[in-house]
Structure 1
Amino acid sequence: MQSKAKTPDEYYQSLPEDRKKAMTQLREILRENLPSGFEETMTYGMPGFVVPHSLYPDGYHVNPKDPLPFISLASQKNFIALYHMGIYSSPELLTWFQTEYKNQVPTKLDMGKSCIRLKSQKNIPYELIAELASKMTVEEWVQLYEKGLKS
């Protein structure tokens, strides 16, 4: 479900009450733990963190006018979605996350290529997401992204 919100603040303010606390907490975790350089913005109808054009002028290959996406959050109908583009591009990071999730969370991981579906708000692994957010710098993400484009 894409939001018509123009800013991340507007998006979070428009959330239903039953999602506001978890989504706001996830936002704060990302803001506090992402390495410097990522910028919060609205992309594809959801708030997220991108590599701004000032750091990566080429932008996103799908539409170079858009900054390079990295992590986004969305309140979907039946779950909260955390989209992490780096986890899709790094087998090592994916393996680490899957192992740690299994060790730390009592429920089974529900995940697509870059989408982590958080179906139960009481089982959101906030500390694990904080650690995941801290594991890739802007420079590392750009290198990984460009390597993927070339292959």
Structure 2
Amino acid sequence: MKYEASTVEEYISQIPEERQEVIKKLRNIIKKNLPEGFEEGINYNMIGYYVPHSKYPDGYHCDPKLPLPFMNLASQKNSINLYHSGIYAEKELHDWFVVEYPKYSKRKLDMGKSCIRFKKMDDIPYELIAELCTKMTVDKWISIYESAVKKK
């Protein structure tokens, strides 16, 4: 589902009421645990966490006017999705998450390249998401990003 919002609060107010508390809880966990330097805002019509132009002036190579994306949180048609670019870009982080997930959730991991889908709101591994948020600093993300972009 696509929401037209210019602020995080406006985004949250548009999603189904039964998902608002879950999104708010995930948002608070992300903000509390994400290393210093990332900023929050609306990015790609979702709640986004990104490296601001003040820290990384080059911006995102696909559109340099956009800040460098890192994480997004979204309410989709059938799930709440967490997009984490670090999981996609760093195999060790991906593998760590896949191994840890069953320790925190009784449900099968539903994951794409960078997307973790939560279809059941009652079994979101909040503690694991909190730990995931601590795993990559802004500087490390920039370094990984630049290594991948410069290879192309």
TM-score, scaled to structure 1: 0.98
Aligned to 1:54: 54
Which amino acid in structure 2 is aligned with residue 7 of structure 1? T
Aligned to 2:130: 130
- Cα RMSD after superposing both structures: 0.7
How far does residue 15 in structure 1 lie from its aligned partner after superposition? 1.8
**Percent same amino acid at aligned positions?**
56
Aligned to 1:142: 142
Output aligned runs, 1:27-46, within 5 Å. Answer: 27-46=27-46
Aligned pairs, number: 151
How far does residue 7 in structure 1 lie from its aligned partner after superposition? 0.7
Aligned to 1:87: 87
- Cα distance in structure 1, aligned partners of 2:102 and 2:94: 12
Structure 1 segments (4+ residues) deviating >6 Å:
none
Deviation track 1:18-39 (CA, whole Å, cap 9, x = no partner) reads 1011111000000000000000
- Cα distance in structure 1, aligned partners of 2:106 and 2:140: 31
Aligned to 1:20: 20
- Cα distance in structure 1, aligned partners of 2:146 and 2:2: 28
How far does residue 105 in structure 1 lie from its aligned partner after superposition? 1.1
How far does residue 103 in structure 1 lie from its aligned partner after superposition? 2.2
Unaligned ranges ≥5, structure 1: none
Aligned residue for 1:47, secondary structure, equals: strand
Deviation track 1:85-123 (CA, whole Å, cap 9, x = no partner) reads 111000000000000002221111000100000111111
Deviation track 1:20-68 (CA, whole Å, cap 9, x = no partner) reads 1111100000000000000001111111100000000000000000000
Unaligned ranges ≥5, structure 2: none
Q: Does the CA-based 8 Å contact 1:2-1:44 persist in structure 2?
A: no
Aligned to 1:3: 3
Aligned residue for 1:117, secondary structure, equals: strand
Aligned residue for 1:100, secondary structure, equals: helix
Q: Does the CA-based 8 Å contact 1:79-1:119 persist in structure 2?
A: yes
- Cα distance in structure 1, aligned partners of 2:144 and 2:14: 34
